[in-house]
Amino acid sequence: MLRVQLLLKPAALPVWTPALEAALEEAGIEAALATDHAPETVDYVIYAPGGGPVDLSPYTSTKLVQGLWAGVESIIENRSLTQPYARMVGGGLTEGMVEWVTGHVLRHHLGMDRYITAKDPHWDQRVPPLAADRGVTILGLGVLGAACAAALVTLGFRVSGWSRREKALPGVNCHHGEAGLSAALVEAEILVLLLPATPVTTDLMNADTLAALPRGAVILNPGRGALINEDALLAALERGHIAHATLDTFKTEPLPAAHPFWTHPGVTITPHIASETRPDAAARVVAENIRRSEAGEPVLHLVDRTRGY
């Protein structure tokens, strides 16, 4: 019987415990799930942020810490984490992000606000360009960025992307590395940020990189708040260089009530809801990784600590 420790916030337990029990049973894995196993006896830890600081040093025989979130910045620099760490990939995250990104890209591409908010008699016949005449750039071509790029290519957009390493994705004008960033930005009438938060990506969008975008560009940030220098964004919105920012992630969450983003007409806020792990689907991903580990097969989605994501 495997001992699986749940390091989740208490409110998450009633949802996750039955989903994980069902998925483990379906995978034929006998496991005891608890929050209070003696740490040194635990085989697997299942972790999600929000439950307070974690000390993983007493988990001396733990084979894997399995995260339930895609982002890893809350755990990866925890010095007590010496066990392998797998992040969540799948579990509904990709589908949710593709829907959020395509929905918000289409809002700005079609100029939907002009008609939704119009009050007076309004016969404004500005026909939007076709998607083929609209440049969308995605910074970050990982699991989520690549899936969003593919969906936008299918809709006909002129899609560019940027990653750390060189990539080739069908229909996407791929740039990479420091040297490729400015070419990716120049092509971005709509810019989508799907990078992880790392020391290198912090404040990647600053006064200089915002100025490199075409005038009137729109920014969507479902990635991480750390990616944008907020003062620089507000200044670029004030100047009209950036027409609008739709932000799902923020440097401080929840976004403080007094933050100028709340009242700025050029900012739309969605409260970190772009995409969420769905318990039943994600529990099957967890069970598959435990099955692999027990069978001596490679575990999926291990995080490379040296690169920080």
Compute the distance between CA of residue 34 and CA of residue 8 in angstroms, rounded to an integer: 11
Any contact of residue 201 with ligand NAP (CB under 6 A)?
yes
Q: Which residue is nearest to ligand NAP (CB)?
A: 142
Q: Which of 104, 108, 224, 244 is catalytic?
A: 224
Any contact of residue 194 with ligand NAP (CB under 6 A)?
yes
Candidates 45, 131, 136, 144; binder of ligand NAP (CB under 6 A) is 144
Which part of the chain contacts ligand NAP (CB under 6 A), choosing from 16-24, 161-169, 211-219, 282-290? Answer: 161-169
Measured from the CB of residue 30, what is the shortest distance to ligand NAP in angstroms? 31
Measured from the CB of residue 183, what is the shortest distance to ligand NAP in angstroms? 13
Compute the distance between CA of residue 35 and CA of residue 251 in angstroms, rounded to an integer: 30
Any contact of residue 143 with ligand NAP (CB under 6 A)?
yes
Q: What is the DSSP letter of 40?
A: G
Which part of the chain contacts ligand NAP (CB under 6 A), choosing from 20-28, 157-165, 252-260, 283-291? Answer: 157-165
264 catalytic? Reply is: no
Phi, psi of 228 (to 5 degrees): -115, 135
Instruction: Name 194's Cβ contacts closer than 8 Å, sequence gap at least 6.
Output: 97, 101, 138, 139, 140, 141, 142, 144, 145, 148, 222, 223
> For residues 103 and 148, is the Cβ–Cβ distance under 8 A?
no
Candidates 249, 268, 289, 293; binder of ligand NAP (CB under 6 A) is 249
Between 171 and 216, name the residue whose CB sits nearer to ligand NAP.
171
Maximum CA pair distance of the chain? 70
Candidates 268, 277, 258, 299; CA nearest to 89 is 277
Candidates 272, 278, 292, 305; binder of ligand NAP (CB under 6 A) is 272
3 catalytic? Reply is: no
> For residues 154 and 131, is the Cβ–Cβ distance under 8 A?
no
Compute the distance between CA of residue 179 and CA of residue 140 in angstroms, rounded to an integer: 15
CA–chain centroid gap for 89, Å, is 10
Between 37 and 301, name the residue whose CB sits nearer to ligand NAP.
301
Q: DSSP labels for 249-265?
A: --SSSSPPTT-GGGT-T
Any contact of residue 141 with ligand NAP (CB under 6 A)?
yes
Any contact of residue 226 with ligand NAP (CB under 6 A)?
no
Between 199 and 296, name the residue whose CB sits nearer to ligand NAP.
199
Q: Return residues touching ligand NAP (CB under 6 A).
A: 70-71, 93, 97, 140-145, 162-165, 194-198, 200-201, 222-224, 248-249, 272, 274-275, 309
Active site residues: 224, 272
